[in-house]
Amino acid sequence: MNRILTTIRKSKEMNILLVLIVISIIISIFNGSFLTMGNLLDVVKSNIVLAIMSMGMLLVLLTGGIDVSIASVISAVTVVVGQFMVHVSSNIVLVFIVGVLAGSLMGLINGLLIAKLKIPPIVATLGTMSIIFGVVLYLTNGTWITGIPQNFIDFGRVTIGKFNVAGSDQPTGIPIQFLFLVLAAALTWFILKYTVIGRGIYAIGGNKESAERIGINSDNLTLFVYVYEGFLIGLAGVVHTSIMRQVDPNAFIGFELQVIAAVVLGGASVLGGYGSVFGTLVGVSLFCVINNGLILMHIPVYWQKIVVGVVLITSISVDVIQKRMQEKKNVRVDIDENIQRFARTSVSKEVKTQA
């Protein structure tokens, strides 16, 4: 059984990877500049925030929950961070601490509502979304925060390594923000793969009741998941500010659905218990490559939504249909075994009666 599960898991993520590769080839046939270092770096840089947040969302989906408040949380974090830098201090370490604390605090509120008050995740986060966005927009009036201190801007421009890129005179490198994505992905992967917490998260997502029966404290784990998600959103908020060099409280409206779509494209199940860091990264890449590819192929902006919608629906449909076929196969095996067992027992009964 375990073997079957691992092969399915492998094939699922490999399928998405295959789709990613095929789409990349198609795009690069239409437009040669897709596979240039400059373009790929741009794609990475503009989607780091999405990728970091999708790590948090992955954990939430794994427990069978959902979080629609993430867009409001990150816009609150960026506002807090922006105000902190402008009015208090622009020490980079302090800025990161403030951002992460703000994110974790809001995650804690979500977690308490969901784990302790047992409010269904979608409803609880709907409520906090409304509250947090309301407070942020009331306090900022929707105005941008500009005048981010120079040292933070400089920090955002740091690159790792230097190489020349075709079509541009200035040498570029991997943006420093990429490091945080690597950090977030590695940490999430480690937690899921090698800690009791991670195993517990898969367990409550698979079947909450049986997880509780074997002694897993699902309340505390749920709380952890939302706080950890808040922590990652805090990180993403600071990273976003370092990329954009200003704060727009309205920048993230509707972002939550993009994150959920990307994670789901990566094979995570919204019913919980299934999904991986690798798959999520591939899903996020697929999401970004499609968006970038449509621009490079000069397809009007209006078509992008249609393509994303169609890709989302077809990829999940294929997955569901595959799973159903697999299940049918399994059922047949079960029936065969039962018939054989029945035959065996009836034979043995006959033998007994004869004796």
> Which of 17, 108, 244, 316 is in the footprint of another protein by CB under 8 A?
316
**Segment lying near another protein (by CB under 8 A), choices 123-131, 172-180, 223-231, 238-246:** 123-131
Q: Are 234 and 84 in contact, with CB atoms under 8 Å apart?
A: no
Q: Per CB under 8 A, which region of 86-94, 173-181, 207-215, 313-321 contacts another protein?
A: 313-321
Of 226, 322, 245, whose CA–CA distance to 78 is shortest?
245
Number of residues that bind another protein (CB under 8 A): 46
In the complex with another protein, the residue whose CB is nearer, 67 or 175, is 67
127 binds another protein (CB under 8 A): yes
Please tell me the distance from the alpha carbon of residue 354 to that of residue 350, in angstroms, as a whole number. 6
CA-wise closest residue to 289 among 25, 29, 88: 25
Structure tokens at 75: 């816009």
Q: Which of 270, 288, 295, 296 binds another protein (CB under 8 A)?
A: 270
Dihedral of alpha carbons 289, 295, 299, 300, sign: positive
For another protein, the binding residue among 130, 207, 345, 348 (CB under 8 A) is 130
Q: Which is nearer to another protein, 85 or 294 (CB)?
A: 294
Left if phi > 0, otherwise alpha if psi is -120 to 50, otherwise beta: which for 329?
Answer: alpha
**Does 68 sit near another protein (CB under 8 A)?**
yes
| Among candidate residues 278, 253, 258, 250, the one with its CA nearest the CA of residue 266 | 278
List the structure tokens of 23. 């789409």
324 sits near another protein (criterion: CB under 8 A): yes
Q: Which of 10, 305, 341, 344 binds another protein (CB under 8 A)?
A: 305
Which residue is associated with the tokens 């993009």?
258
Among 30, 163, 303, 342, binds another protein (CB under 8 A): 303
State in angstroms the smallest separation of the CB of 144 from another protein.
Answer: 16
Q: Of the two residues 18 and 321, which places its CB atom closer to another protein in the complex?
A: 321
